[in-house]
Amino acid sequence: MRYIYKICVLFTVLFTVSCQDDFLDRPSLSEISAENFYQTKEELRLATAALYGKPWARWHNEAYIPLGDVMSGNIIIPYQGADLVELNTFTISGSNGRSYSGWKGLYMVVAHCNTTIKGIENTSATIAEADKNAAIAEARFIRAMAYYHLALLWGEVPIIEDNTKLITSPLINRNITADVYRFIAEDLIFAAENLPLTDAPGRVTTWSAKGLLSKVYLTMAGLGQSGGTRNQEYLDLAKNTAKDVIENSGLDLFPSYYDLFRTQYNDSPESLFALQWTVGAGWGEGNMLLTYSPSMEINPQKDGGWGGPLTSYDLYLAYTEQDSIRRKANFMLTGDHYPELNAAEGGYTATNSTMKKHIIGNEVDNNAPSMTFTSSILHTQLLRLADVYLVYAEAILGNNGSTSDADALLYFNMVRERAGVDPVTALDIDVIFDERRLEFACEGQYWLDLVRLSYFNPVKAIDRLNNQQRVTFEYDGDTKEATPNDPIGVISPATLATFTLELPVSEVIANPKLLEPAVAYY
């Protein structure tokens, strides 16, 4: 039995080899866990920085232009599927893929903001309250931006503040539109109070929050109204908030409208909020708008230009001869030359009337060697100072038929003069909405403006749509003559219902409670 001793040793060794207490503690080796992140101010900044990009990608790549500009009649995309045709012809069903992308994409932004806010709120680390609040304020600003789009597109939508609650109770009701706007306003008020006056380029500041807040107030002024008048209280709030930004921010319009949309001038002082796209994003994760390039030749690696969105005849007609700076920055006409697109090979001469905004040329033009067509480095501006100027003028106009208020005219005409067009001497609602369309064409704005208009003046909003020529056109570069084409489908007349998108069918199937009447949130 001499071996028994040896065996006992072996026995003991083998039984204890794996019985360490921490044997089963296996923290992730590739990712940081939320439980041990959010420990320093720098980490909070890293968390909020992520909210300026990837979470927006789905909406940005698939819904931004389609819902904002195709639906509003600025742009027509007859190819790339029936979804885009439906947006042009107002036959948008609940199974429209672009509508679903918008819905899903915007709620993705909300979800990321919510988890970031909860992560910061629940941190055990001792970080200065002001720093924590500033980070939360960034997330709440971005969340407000997403909800603002959701409210304008779908009206009654569910308000979600804590996504972890959906783990146990995923089936929720929609909330009434007024409460959605109240929620947005509260986020923005918090943001305005807690964001810094200035920050690194690209980061939102208190002025970003106040700028968006003025726009939200202006929207709320029309909500539930009719007959063309708006709630004066909110009009005043809109006016005062915009005025605060204009007078106290120290920010100015960027001198060149054209350069505002070139990557060299990303995050100019005029930009109040822009998506911070950069190189290195994978498929669908970055700025994919270069897929709208009219030619492979001018794209990075000469790849991925799937055909430019066509400009509508209606938008073409909206620009005067004098308004060529904005026109040329927004869309091309056959024969237009763009020396900066594929500059090395002599620039690009347009062969059709396609969208120019967001088309920035190739990696050499932008001095970004690893830029690809899936990762354009142009920062997409979702809020500009010019917008606040026009909001200010509109808030001053308020319920008046027209105005020649000096302040209103001053800022309104600053926008026009920057574009090289003559100033106006009086403002009315049509002048303002027309100007907004020209200034923000291909920035996803015009549909939002029309919905806003439909709140208090549905007749005018419907007329604007039904009087459009929502067709493509041929442009002769030599004679400078444009001829409208046939519609790509029979366009259904717009009604009040047109201004509210149907809920995505798959969402309704997944949660039938969405079809129940909306409930109050507060």
Partner 1 sequence: MTLLLQTFVLMKWPSVRRWSLLAIVFMGLSAVPIYGQNIPVSGVVKSTLDNEPLIGVNVVIKGTTTGAVTDVNGTYKLLVNSEDDVLVFSSIGSITEEIKVGNKSIINVDMMPDITALDEVVMVGYGTAKREDVTGAISSISGDELRKTQPVTFDQALQGKVAGVVVQQTSGQPGGGVSVQIRGMSSFGNNSPLYVIDGVIIGQGFDSGGGTNPLATISPSDIESIDVLKDASASAIYGSQATNGVIIITTKRGKEGSPKITYDYSVGMQQLIKQYPTMDLQEYAQFINDRAAVWGFDERPEFANPQYLGKGTNWQDELFRNAPMSNHVLTLSGGNDRTQYLLSGSYVNQEGIALGSEFTRTSLRLNLDNKTTDWLKIGTSLQLTHVDENINSTGSNVIAEALWQTPDIPVRNPDGSFAGEESNEGWIQKRVNPYAMALVNKNNPKRNQVFANFYAEIAFTKDLTFRNEVSGNFSFRTEDQYKPKYKFGLAERLTNEAFYSYSQDYYTTFRSFLTYAKVFNSKYNVNAMVGHEAQVSQFENINAGRNGFVSDNVTNIGSGDAQTATNGGTKGDNALESYFGRLTFIYNDKYILTGNVRADGSSKFAPDNRWVATYSGAFSWKINNEGFLKDVKRINELKLRVGYGLTNNQNIRNNAYLSLLGTVPTALSGSAQLTTNLGNPDVEWEKTEYSNVGLDVRLFNWRLSLSVDAYNRLTNDLLMQIPLPAYSGASADWSPGSIGAPYINIGAVRNRGFDLHLNSTNINKGDFTWSTDFTLSHNKNKILKLNTDGASLTAKLFDPEQIVSETKVGGSMGDFYGYVVDGGVFATASDFENHALPATNDGVTLPITPNSGGVWYGDLKFKDLNGDGIITEKDRTYLGSPIPDFQLGLGNTFRYKGIDLNIFFSASIGNKVVNEMRIRGEYPSTQFGFLKALKNHAVLALIDPTGSDSDVNNVYVTNPNTTIVGLRNTNGANQNQRFSDKYVEDGSFIRCKNITLGYTFPKELLGKIHLENLRVYANVTNAFLITNYTGMDPEVGSWNPLRAGIDSGFYPQARTFTLGLNIGL
Question: Using CB under 8 A, which residues numbered 343 to 372 contact partner 1?
Answer: 369-370
Query: Which of 97, 196, 269, 347 touches partner 1 by CB under 8 A?
Result: 97
Q: Cβ closer to partner 1: 48 or 353?
A: 48
The minimum distance between CB 355 and partner 1, in angstroms, equals 19
The minimum distance between CB 33 and partner 1, in angstroms, equals 4
The minimum distance between CB 465 and partner 1, in angstroms, equals 15
Q: Cβ closer to partner 1: 91 or 399?
A: 91
Question: Which DSSP string do the residues of 219-243 spell out, in sequence order?
Answer: HHHHTT--TT---HHHHHHHHHHHH
CA proximity to 298, closest of 326, 336, 271, 327: 336
Q: What angle do CA 267, 269, 270 make, to 5 degrees?
A: 90
Specify the DSSP class assigned to residue 340: T
Tell me the residue type at 117. Answer: I
Query: Which of 98, 112, 384, 437 touches partner 1 by CB under 8 A?
Result: 112
Query: Which of 64, 67, 74, 100 touches partner 1 by CB under 8 A?
Result: 100
Place of tokens 């505002």: 260
Q: Which residues within the stretch 63-92 sit at the binding site for partner 1 (CB under 8 A)?
A: 79, 82, 85-86, 89-91
Distances (CA, A) of 89 to 99, 103, 318: 14, 20, 20
Tell the burial category of 8 from Cβ atoms under 10 Å away from its Cβ (0-12, 13-18, 19+): exposed
How big is the chain, counted in residues? 522
The minimum distance between CB 361 and partner 1, in angstroms, equals 15
Query: Which of 379, 384, 452, 470 touches partner 1 by CB under 8 A?
Result: 379
Query: Which of 345, 509, 516, 522 touches partner 1 by CB under 8 A?
Result: 509
Tokens of 458: 């549905």
Q: Cβ closer to partner 1: 175 or 214?
A: 175
Tokens of 10: 């072996």
Q: Alpha-carbon Rg of the chain, whole angstroms?
A: 26
- What spatial distance separates the first Cα and last Cα of the chain, rounded to whole Å? 81
CA proximity to 471, closest of 48, 78, 64: 78
| Kind plus residue range of the DSSP H or E element containing 104 | helix 97-121
Q: Cβ closer to partner 1: 225 or 263?
A: 263
Q: Cβ closer to partner 1: 232 or 370?
A: 370
The minimum distance between CB 228 and partner 1, in angstroms, equals 26
Q: Cβ closer to partner 1: 23 or 250?
A: 23
The minimum distance between CB 39 and partner 1, in angstroms, equals 12
C-alpha 434/C-alpha 446 separation (Å) is: 9
What residue spans of 249-323 are helical by DSSP H? 313-318
CA proximity to 460, closest of 488, 432, 484, 439: 432
Q: Which residues within the stretch 488-507 sit at the binding site for partner 1 (CB under 8 A)?
A: 489-492, 497, 502-507
Query: Long-range pairs for 269-272 at CB < 8 Å and ≥24 separation?
Result: 269/385, 270/384, 270/385, 270/386, 271/202, 271/379, 271/381, 271/383, 271/384, 271/385, 272/204, 272/205, 272/207, 272/208, 272/211, 272/212, 272/381, 272/383, 272/384, 272/385, 272/387, 272/388
CA proximity to 289, closest of 378, 366, 351: 378
Q: Which residues within the stretch 12-51 sit at the binding site for partner 1 (CB under 8 A)?
A: 14-15, 17-19, 23-35, 37, 43, 45-51
Distances (CA, A) of 201 to 194, 262, 443, 490: 18, 16, 21, 46
The minimum distance between CB 517 and partner 1, in angstroms, equals 13
Task: Give the per-residue contact string, 276-315, with partner 1 (x = CB under 8 A; - = no).
Answer: xxxxxxxxxxx---------x----xxx------------
Q: Cβ closer to partner 1: 286 or 398?
A: 286
The minimum distance between CB 301 and partner 1, in angstroms, equals 4
Q: Cβ closer to partner 1: 174 or 357?
A: 174
Task: Give the per-residue contact string, 248-277, with partner 1 (x = CB under 8 A; - = no).
Answer: ------------------x---------xx
Q: With binding defined as CB under 8 A, does residue 401 bind partner 1?
A: no
Query: Which of 116, 205, 206, 354 touches partner 1 by CB under 8 A?
Result: 116
Q: Which residues within the stretch 462-491 sit at the binding site for partner 1 (CB under 8 A)?
A: 489-491
Q: Cβ closer to partner 1: 3 or 520?
A: 3
Q: Cβ closer to partner 1: 50 or 197?
A: 50
Q: Which residues within the stretch 158-197 sit at the binding site for partner 1 (CB under 8 A)?
A: 158, 160, 163-164, 166-172
Q: Which residues within the stretch 187-246 sit at the binding site for partner 1 (CB under 8 A)?
A: 200, 202-203
Query: Which of 224, 335, 477, 512 touches partner 1 by CB under 8 A?
Result: 512
Instruction: Classify 484 as helix, strand or coil.
Output: strand
Specify the DSSP class assigned to residue 274: E
Task: Give the per-residue contact string, 122-161, with partner 1 (x = CB under 8 A; - = no).
Answer: -----------------------------------xx-x-
> How many chain residues bind partner 1 (CB under 8 A)?
116
What residue spans of 357-472 are helical by DSSP H? 385-397, 406-418, 429-439, 446-456, 458-466
